[in-house]
Amino acid sequence: MILVINCGSNKSKHIGEIVDEFMDVKNVQLNEFSEENLKDIDGVIISGAPILVTEIDTTSIIEKMSWIKGTELPILGICFGHQIIGLLHGASASKMKEDRDWQTVEHYEECPLFEKLPSEILMMEDHCETISIPNGFELVASSDACVNECMQHLTKNIFGVQFHPEVSGNHGRILIENFIKVVSSSKQLLNN
């Protein structure tokens, strides 16, 4: 089962709809989330949010999500979720030119999220902030508008994407499906 932590994005419902085609899905609001919600969960997707991390004190959110640093669960952070994963691991956030349109995202590192996808894909953006590459992560994909479009942890199945695959058509669906394959493979390894 995949847990979708809904951080308030109006796009979050689309994440659950895509996941539900392949695997059971459970939804929880960020303000109602506790580590108890991780019981019997095989992977986690953290949604976007109408929150600017450069304009709020993120301390309470970082504390609430600190379990990420110790988990072996596969995690995909989308937009705000991507930024929170980065901040947890020492990244810095900064303002950038507002981007609420399609961008050509180019991936150039091996990454399971991009399996069966061309090296350049169109993804929908909805942000005005970016994060640096945190310690323990590598940069996987960039666009002309944003350097850190996708990052992956060097030793764990933790991924962050700045764009919104859940509203990016077929390529976005494939990316989420690829994450679900990571979750399934990880679950099989844990069960053996």
pLDDT in tens, 122-178: 999 988 899 999 999 999 999 999 999 999 999 999 999 999 999 999 999 999 999
128, two tokens = 């005005």
* Residues classed as catalytic: 79, 164, 166
| pLDDT tens sequence across 54-111 | 999 999 999 999 999 999 999 999 999 999 999 999 999 999 888 889 999 999 999 9
Instruction: Please compute the mean of the pLDDT values over residues 11-28 and round it to a whole number.
Output: 95
Q: Are 179 and 172 in contact (CB under 8 A)?
A: no
Q: Does residue 192 surpass a pLDDT of 70?
A: no
Extended strands (E) in the chain: 2-6, 25-29, 43-46, 75-78, 93-99, 102-107, 120-124, 127-131, 137-142, 150-153, 158-161
Helix 12-20 vs helix 169-191: crossing angle, to nearest 10: 60
The full set of domains in the chain, from first to last, is: 2-191 (3.40.50.880)
